[in-house]
Amino acid sequence: MTYLLPEDQLDPAAFIARGKGHLPGHLGIIVTTLERHLVEGHFEIVATHHAPNGYLHAGALVTLADTLCGYGTLANVPAGATGFTTIELKSNFFATALEGRVQARATPVHVGGTTQVWDCEVTHMETGKRMALFRCSQLVLRPKG
């Protein structure tokens, strides 16, 4: 298969740079692994990740998972497509933390020419606790006409 992004563009540092000035950069998301069928990354919990209720904001976990799944989707967009968009996402939350590192591992469930489905497990690095499970469905976009 031929991809929109060639193998030499699957560089974690390039995707970290891509996130600067956008939500992934503001949350401090670091991509550590970027392969066609595996994306891993993390962020260090800081006070701005906390919700007003004193817990880790669920949106911080969703953003980490959605970012990694999105980067994995982009790595698998076929040549001739113009990109992708999220059509559905779901999250289950199991634990919270106020400090430490939140890490995540995204893997594809389905990579097709029209849709992709990705799962992401989010864990707390120091405790090993599963914090969330995330699934998203992506629509591959094609040129009009």
Q: Is residue 108 part of a domain?
A: yes
- SS3 for 12-63, per residue? HHHHHHHHCCCHHHHCCCEEEEEECCEEEEEEECCHHHECCCCCECHHHHHH
Q: Is residue 133 part of a domain?
A: yes
- Look at the alpha carbons of 59, 49, 64, 14 in this order and tell me if their dihedral is positive or negative: positive
Local structure of residue 73 (DSSP, 8 states): H
Q: Is residue 1 part of a domain?
A: no
CA distances from 17 to 14, 35, 85, 121 (A): 5, 17, 20, 23
Q: Is residue 34 part of a domain?
A: yes
What band does 145 get if pLDDT is binned at 50, 70 and 90?
confident
- Segment 99-113 shows an average pLDDT of 97
pLDDT of residue 1: 86
What band does 101 get if pLDDT is binned at 50, 70 and 90?
very high
Q: Is residue 85 part of a domain?
A: yes
Q: Is residue 68 part of a domain?
A: yes
Parent domain of 123: 7-141
Local structure of residue 77 (DSSP, 8 states): P
CATH of the domain at 103: 3.10.129.10
Instruction: Tally the domains of the chain.
Output: 1
pLDDT digit string (tens) for 19-71? 999 999 999 999 999 999 999 999 999 999 999 999 999 999 999 999 999 99
pTM value?
0.96
Q: Is residue 2 part of a domain?
A: no
Contact 27, 19 (CB under 8 A): no
- Provide the percentage of residues in the chain whose pLDDT is more than 90: 97
